[in-house]
Amino acid sequence: MSCATVTSLRALPRVAAMLVAVAVWVVPVLWVVATSLKPRTDIFTLPPRLWFTPTFEHYRVALGTADILRGLSNSALVATLTMLLTLLISIPAGYAYARLRFPYREPLFFYTLFTQMAPPVGFLIPFFLAFSRLRLLDTHAGIVLIYLSMSVPFAVWLMTTYFLDVPRELEEAALVDGCSRGRALVRVVLPQVYGGVAVTAVLSFINAWNEFIYASVLTGARVRMAPVAIFGFLTTEETLWGPFAATAVLIMGPVVVLALLAQRQIVRGLTLGAFR
């Protein structure tokens, strides 16, 4: 046997494992998409039909439901605000941890990471009691604050790692040429970590867009999020699987589009610092 054949045979288990992993993720997604396009009678047909006449009736029902439209708009607003504020906080904080020396730097950085170790559900009741006193229940500001408390610590740690991979010589050269530290950060350092910024932005957006536990407890009819509004199709009288699947596709869509648009930056950001 040739060396190429031996190498191919050795790679077969790895390729098979990758295909299984992809199938585990792709098959349920394709099933939901197919269910959202099936006529109502075909959804309950056994055995399931793989060939059917697509219909967009379930999407019309979903988009015609006030709670779904309100939920999608609320989720878009909250996720976008969370992403922007997370970047606004994590970029200067990560830069400070990576470049500056100040009192209690190590304990503060450890505390930033420590906040990620506690399970979010453990803070649910304290947050509910505190927000009820502050009148932040069922408000956009309240749910954004909750999501910031979840996304900022991880984002600060992530940005600190990216900034540490940028050579100090680039920044020192900019400072010698007369740039302030702020201008050096914006014009010299940030262009080197655009991939990391993209990863941080996408992850913070996805976490806020998909979060369910806090959204189901700390919001109500006024600020109901899309992952909570979708369960309006599951009632004791009837389960509308078609509109339910269509809404699920509408919820998945923005995340998939965002990931596809930023895939080059995400790959660059995830591999930043992998090779030295």
Spell out the per-residue pLDDT of the chain, length 276, in tens. Answer: 555 554 556 667 777 788 887 777 788 888 888 888 888 888 887 777 778 888 898 899 888 888 889 999 999 999 999 999 999 999 999 888 888 887 887 788 777 777 777 777 888 888 999 999 999 998 999 999 999 988 998 899 888 888 888 888 887 788 787 777 778 888 888 888 888 888 888 889 989 998 999 999 998 888 899 999 888 888 767 778 888 999 999 998 888 888 777 777 666 656 654 444
Instruction: State in Å, rounded, how far the first CA of the chain is from the last one.
Output: 37
Structure tokens at 247: 């809404």
What's the chain's length in residues? Answer: 276
The secondary structure element, H or E, covering residue 243 is helix 241-261
Q: Tell me: the pLDDT tens digits for 73-101?
A: 999 999 999 999 999 999 999 888 888 88
- Between CA 199 and CA 193 the distance in angstroms is 10
Are residues 198 and 270 in contact, defined by beta-carbon separation less than 8 angstroms?
no
> What is the pLDDT, as a whole number, of residue 86?
95
Entry pTM:
0.83
> What is the pLDDT, as a whole number, of residue 129?
92
Q: What is the DSSP letter of 192?
A: G
CATH number of 60-271: 1.10.10.10, 1.10.443.10, 1.10.3720.10, 3.40.50.460?
Answer: 1.10.3720.10
> What is the pLDDT, as a whole number, of residue 275?
40
Assign 203 to helix, strand or coil: helix
> What is the pLDDT, as a whole number, of residue 63?
87
> What is the pLDDT, as a whole number, of residue 276?
41
Residue-wise DSSP of 11-78 = HHHHHHHHHHHHHHHHHHHHHHHHHHHS-HHHHT-SSPPSS-----HHHHHHHT-HHHHHHHHHHHHH
- Which part of the chain is CATH 1.10.3720.10? 60-271
